[in-house]
Structure 1
C-alpha cells in the first residue's frame, strides 16, 4: 500500500464533527470532549460559518444549537447541512425544547433532537441511535395547560426567529412577561 493510499484511508476513517454553537465557552468544552474521543472538530457560530466550513471539509457529524445569535436559525442550519450531505448525522441541541421544533428539525434532516444539558455521551448515543424504535413507552398522561402554553409560546418564538419583542406582541403579552416565562421554563 502506498503512502498516499494510507493517508487517503486515514482521512476517510477520520471522524469529522461540525459544531454550530454561539456560546463560545460551551463550544470549546464540548469540542475538546469530542477531540478526546477521536473526532476532528470544526467550530462555527452561525449558518454562514457552517457553510464556509463545508468548503474544505466533509464532516460526517454535526451538532447544531437550535437558537443561534443574530438572524441565524439552527433549523436553517440543519436544512443547509442536510442539503449539502444527506448522509451527515445531525443532532440538534436546545435549551428551548418543544415538540414543534423537534418535529421540524427531524423533517429538515436532523437524526436526533436533545434538550440541554446534554453531554458528549448523550450526543454520541444520539448519533448511534438513528433508527426509530417501537419499544418507546407511550404514556396515558394528558398534556398539562403549562405544557400547552409553553408549546404555543415556542411555536410563536420559532415563527419570529426567536425575536422576543415580536413574539410578545403576537402573543398579546408584555415583553418582560414573556422574558420571565422563558427564563423560568429554560432548560439549563
Structure 2
C-alpha cells in the first residue's frame, strides 16, 4: 500500500527537510514554499492532509498569510485536514487557525512523536470526512434517523418532530432501513 501524501507549505527549507525526515515511512511529503504556490482547487483530493506554516517571510509574525491559506483551502476542499505550524508564542494565531477550520497545531520546535501523531490523526480525519461526504442519501437518512431516535431516548414522537416528519412516516422509514 502506498504511503499517504501530505502537502507541506513551509518557507524554511531546513524545517521542511526535518519534517520530511520525521515523517519518513509515515507519509510522503510534497513541499511548497508558500501559499501562492498552492495547486488548483480541484487537485487537493490527492492529499491526505496539509501541514501549513502560518508565516512565510522573516518579517511576518501575524499569521495573516497562513490564515488566508486556511480560508482558501477550506473552500477548495472542506474535507482536507489542516495542521498548522507556528512558533512558540503563536498560540493566539493557532487558536484563530482552529476557529477557521484547522484540526490541530504544532508549536515550533516540535517533538517528532507529536508531529507523527498529529499528521496521523489528520490523515485519519481526512479519510473519515471524505467517507462522510461520499455517503449516499440512503446512508445519510438512516444516520439522521438513528441520531434522532438516540437523542429522543427512543421516543418516536419526539424523534419524528425533531426530523420534521410524522410518526407514521418515521415508522415507515425505520422499517425501510431495518432499524
**Which interval holds the TM-score relative to the shorter structure?**
0.5 to 0.7
Q: 1:103 to 1:77 in 2, by over 3 A?
A: same
1:23 aligns with 12
- Contact residue 6 and residue 28 of structure 2 kept, 8 A: yes
Alpha-carbon separation, structure 2, partners of 1:119 and 1:50: 27
Aligned residue in 2 for 1:65: 53
Which 5+ residue runs of structure 2 have no aligned equivalent? Answer: 123-179
Scaled by the length of structure 1, the TM-score of the pair is: 0.53
Q: Does 1:121 align with 2:113?
A: yes
> How has the CA–CA distance of structure 1 residues 80 and 68 changed in structure 2, closer, same or farther, with 3 Å as cutoff?
same
**1:184 — aligned with what?**
none
Tell me the residue number matched to 1:133.
Answer: none
Matched, 1:112 2:104: yes
Contact 1:111–1:127 under 8 Å retained in 2: no
Question: Are 1:30 and 1:119, in contact at CA under 8 Å, matched by a contact in 2?
Answer: no
CA offset at residue 56 of structure 1?
7.4
Larger Rg computed on CA atoms: 2
TM-score (normalised: structure 2): 0.55
CA–CA separation in structure 1 for the residues paired with 2:20 and 2:42: 17
In 2: Cα distance, 1:100 partner to 1:56 partner: 27
Q: CA deviation at 1:47?
A: 0.7
Q: Is the 8 A contact 1:62 1:90 kept in 2?
A: yes
Q: Which residue in the other structure is 1:173 paired with?
A: none
Give a deviation string over 1:140-180, Cα, whole Å, max 9, x none: xxxxxxxxxxxxxxxxxxxxxxxxxxxxxxxxxxxxxxxxx
Does the 8 Å CA contact 2:22/2:116 hold for their aligned counterparts?
no
Which residue in 2 is equivalent to 1:78? 70
How far the C-alpha of 1:52 sits from its partner, in A, is 5.1
CA distance in 1, matches of 2:22, 2:42: 22
Tell me how many residue pairs correspond in the alignment: 118
* Structure 1 position 64, deviation (Å): 0.8
